[in-house]
Each structure stands twice: as structure tokens, then as C-alpha cells.
């Protein structure tokens, strides 16, 4: 029986160790598409993740964002607590249509936060860099496509 040199064996084992991570990463990638523009999104499904949101981020790529996923559709209100960059928010109804949008400015001080409301029931909220929704031509009533694996209760 021929033995593999230890360097070759080490490289094979290291490569094999990376395979599961690579597969999992694909499964964890989520997207939201509106009006022909797609954003790669992190999901905020838990209360903790929803409370934290994008607070503390110093930058956000043009086609990246966060999708807040709620278990039911109701009027939603967001604030810019500890956010360091301005953001757009698109509230999305259970029917996967945009119900309201806002551009949210960075707050100047703690305490008196501006409330950004969906105005009508929303099951999702998409946060992306400020101006991204306008540049994409997104309007109220636009259909939204969620990638597979994003929880959606009709």
C-alpha cells in the first residue's frame, strides 16, 4: 500500500474541513428583490436581533441590508437607536408588497427618537443604505421576492 506524504494528507484534511462551512454559508445567504434590485440580507428573527438591528455599524454595502421577520402582520414602529449610518426602511405586508418607506436619519442624541411607522400592517421590514430604495426605483405597492428559507406566514 502506498502512503500519501503527510503534507498532502494535511491539505486534504484541511480542505475537507472547509466543505461543511462552505455549504452552510450558501444556506445562510438570504436575498430580497424589489423592482429588479436584489439585496443580500441578514435576518433579524429573534427579539434580541430585532432590538439590536444595524446599530453600531459604520458602513453597509449598497446591496446589503437586514430583513426583520415578524411572526404576524401588524403596524410596526422603528427608531434609529445607536445607528451610525442613515438607512432606508421598506415595510412589507404579508402579501409581499411594499406598504411604506422612509429614509431614516442618524439620531443626534439619545432619548428623543423619531418613530418611523409602517402606517398599516407589515410582517417584514427591510433596512438598506439610505437612498438605495430610491436608486432602485422602489415604490409603494411593489412586489417583493424573498429567497427560499426566509420564514413567511401568510
User: 3-state DSSP call for residue 67?
Assistant: strand
pLDDT at 20: 36
Comparing 47-51, 76-80, 106-110, the range with the smallest average pLDDT is 106-110
List pLDDT tens digits, range 60-93: 999 999 999 999 999 999 999 899 999 999 999 9
Cβ atoms of 30 and 38 within 8 Å: the answer is no
CATH of domain 30-146: 2.60.120.1140
What are the tens digits of pLDDT across the range 9-48? Answer: 333 333 433 333 333 334 468 999 999 999 999 999 999 9
Amino acid at each position: 500500500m502506498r502512503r500519501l506524504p503527510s503534507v498532502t494528507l494535511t491539505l486534504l484534511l484541511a480542505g475537507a474541513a472547509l466543505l461543511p462551512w462552505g455549504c452552510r454559508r450558501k444556506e445562510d445567504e438570504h436575498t430580497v428583490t424589489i423592482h429588479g434590485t436584489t439585496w443580500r440580507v441578514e435576518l433579524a428573527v429573534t427579539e434580541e436581533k430585532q432590538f439590536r438591528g444595524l446599530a453600531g455599524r459604520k458602513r453597509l454595502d449598497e446591496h446589503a441590508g437586514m430583513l426583520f421577520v415578524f411572526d404576524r402582520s401588524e403596524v410596526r414602529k422603528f427608531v434609529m437607536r445607536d445607528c451610525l449610518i442613515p438607512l432606508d426602511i421598506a415595510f412589507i405586508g404579508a402579501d409581499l408588497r411594499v406598504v411604506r418607506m422612509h429614509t431614516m436619519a442618524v439620531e443626534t442624541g439619545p432619548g428623543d427618537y423619531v418613530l418611523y411607522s409602517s402606517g398599516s400592517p407589515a410582517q417584514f421590514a427591510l433596512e438598506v443604505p439610505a437612498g438605495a430604495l430610491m436608486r432602485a426605483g422602489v415604490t409603494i405597492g411593489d412586489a417583493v421576492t424573498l429567497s427560499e428559507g426566509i420564514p413567511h406566514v401568510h
